[in-house]
């Protein structure tokens, strides 16, 4: 294989595929990137759960393939100035050349690189910008590893012209919706790491193929392949409060800033008290290590006084990704869940804590 590629294009391609390369690979080949040159130059990497394959503009003098250590190659290319890089491989190994610099790198045979799943399944088209927004709005609510397996990802639901993403860790629920072109109905659970990598596909149209065991997201010469989390996502609809009769409307940025200050004096469980009265909301917290904190701010509310104990970080996670100038907080009693909303397309359900 003999290939000439611009250093900036090469760096961009490597940064993308390195997002799926594990930092401590369980098997040697997972720390490598497969480089294939035929009619186009293609880079592929995988951790066996998520795989990424993409093309890169290049001049191909001789077709072939090689498998190079991803971190080492990325470190080299990061040091290159603007200009051409030549990648060469033969039966004895592989070389990287840039100007007067030459490096021989350890290689593996292409046969040692894991075989990637071939795209298959019914196709649906997703707007990339809307998908990225759904991920931002729900990613923080995905359960940590070690909890219930089906909660270690977000549920993507496609129906008619709507698309939605739902995530929950058992203490909170995040639901975001958007509009798409009408297409097949789909309900799949996307793993945590796939959610983190998906935004690199950009804001254009993304084709989703749902295979028996894998999901395939493709756009502009780039394909992200992900294992699918099997199992039934919890019936989240039944925990969305339907009868909250007390609603507070408050400035989003002001509330977020106050929570950050109040949080400094909270216990490790992030407990904070939220007291509402006529046109006012008061936050307070206390801890043995720090002391106490208290802050009051204006809010639109005309119901009876009520105090709830919440995890202030959960509320802040929602506020940080919401976009409206104001948000609404619906509640029924001191023990019932809060329904926090930024319009109708983005809501959170946050369980109250024992005070």
pLDDT confidence of residue 145: 80
pLDDT digit string, tens, across residues 291-314: 999 999 999 999 999 999 999 999
Co-location of 94 and 45 in the same domain:
yes
8 Å CB contact between 325 and 255:
no
**Of the candidates 167, 237, 165, 174, the residue with the CA atom closest to the CA atom of residue 208:** 165
* 181 belongs to a structural domain: yes
Considering 77, 112, 147, which residue would you say is the last residue of a domain? Answer: 112
> Could you tell me the sign of the dihedral formed by the alpha carbons of 348, 172, 49, 35, in that order?
positive
Co-location of 253 and 218 in the same domain:
no
Considering 217, 236, 255, which residue would you say is the last residue of a domain? Answer: 236
Co-location of 289 and 341 in the same domain:
yes
List the strands of the sheet with 346-350, edge to edge: 186-191, 153-159, 162-168, 172-179, 346-350, 338-341, 326-331, 246-251
* 131 belongs to a structural domain: yes
Co-location of 96 and 198 in the same domain:
no
* 171 belongs to a structural domain: yes
> What domain range is 126 assigned to?
122-236
Co-location of 225 and 290 in the same domain:
no
pLDDT digit string, tens, across residues 174-210: 999 999 999 999 999 999 999 999 999 999 999 999 9
The whole-chain average pLDDT of the chain stands at 95
* 23 belongs to a structural domain: yes
Measured CA to CA, the distance from residue 138 to residue 318 in angstroms comes to 9
Q: Which residue has the tokens 């390195």?
A: 18
Considering 86, 112, 138, which residue would you say is the last residue of a domain? Answer: 112
Co-location of 232 and 249 in the same domain:
no
CATH number at residue 16: 3.10.150.10
Co-location of 126 and 230 in the same domain:
yes
DSSP code per residue over 216-270: EEEETTEEEEEEPBPSPPP-GGGGS-S---EEEEEEHHHHHHHHHHHHTTS-TT-
Co-location of 231 and 257 in the same domain:
no
* 117 belongs to a structural domain: no
Co-location of 249 and 150 in the same domain:
no
From first to last of the 355 residues of the chain, give the pLDDT tens digit: 999 999 999 999 999 999 999 989 999 999 999 999 999 999 999 999 999 999 999 999 999 999 999 999 999 999 999 999 999 998 888 999 999 999 999 899 888 999 999 999 989 999 999 999 999 999 999 998 877 899 999 999 999 999 999 999 999 999 999 999 999 999 999 999 999 999 999 999 999 999 999 999 999 999 999 999 999 999 999 999 998 999 999 999 999 999 999 999 999 999 999 999 999 999 999 998 899 999 999 999 999 999 999 999 999 999 999 999 999 999 999 999 999 999 999 999 999 998 6
Co-location of 83 and 158 in the same domain:
no
Co-location of 189 and 99 in the same domain:
no
pLDDT confidence of residue 121: 92
Co-location of 256 and 322 in the same domain:
yes
Per the structure, how many domains does the chain have?
Answer: 3
* 279 belongs to a structural domain: yes
The pTM of the full predicted model, rounded to 2 decimals, is: 0.93
């Amino acid at each position: 294989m003999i290939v000439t590629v611009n250093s900036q294009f090469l760096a961009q391609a490597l940064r993308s595929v390195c997002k799926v390369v594990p930092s401590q690979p369980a098997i040697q080949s997972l720390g490598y990137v497969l480089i294939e040159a035929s009619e186009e130059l293609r880079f592929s990497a995988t951790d066996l759960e998520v795989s990424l394959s993409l093309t890169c503009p290049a001049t191909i003098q001789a077709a072939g393939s090689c498998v190079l250590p991803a971190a080492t190659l990325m470190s080299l290319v990061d040091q290159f100035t603007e200009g051409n890089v030549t990648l060469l491989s033969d039966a004895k190994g592989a070389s990287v050349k840039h100007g007067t610099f030459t490096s021989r790198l350890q290689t593996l045979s292409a046969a040692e690189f894991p075989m990637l799943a071939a795209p298959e399944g019914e196709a649906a088209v997703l707007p990339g910008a809307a998908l990225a927004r759904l991920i931002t709005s729900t990613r923080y609510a995905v359960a940590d590893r070690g909890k219930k397996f089906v909660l270690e990802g977000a549920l993507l639901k496609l129906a008619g012209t709507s698309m939605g993403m739902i995530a929950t860790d058992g203490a909170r629920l995040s639901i975001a919706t958007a509009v798409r072109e009408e297409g097949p109905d789909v309900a799949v659970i996307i793993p945590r790491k796939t959610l983190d990598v998906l935004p690199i596909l950009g804001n254009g149209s993304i084709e989703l193929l749902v295979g028996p065991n894998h999901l395939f997201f493709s756009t502009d010469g780039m394909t992200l392949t992900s294992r699918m989390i099997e199992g039934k996502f919890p019936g989240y609809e039944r925990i969305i409060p339907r009868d909250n009769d007390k609603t507070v409307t408050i400035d989003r940025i002001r509330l977020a800033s106050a929570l950050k200050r109040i949080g400094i004096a909270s216990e490790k469980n992030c407990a904070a008290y939220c007291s509402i009265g006529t046109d006012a909301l008061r936050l307070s917290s206390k801890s043995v290590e720090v002391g106490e904190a208290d802050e009051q701010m204006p809010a639109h509310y005309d119901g009876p006084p009520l105090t709830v104990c919440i995890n202030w970080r959960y509320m802040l996670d929602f506020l940080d990704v919401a976009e409206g100038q104001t948000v609404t907080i619906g509640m029924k009693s001191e023990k019932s869940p809060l329904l926090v909303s930024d319009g109708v397309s983005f809501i959170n359900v946050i369980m109250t804590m024992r005070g």
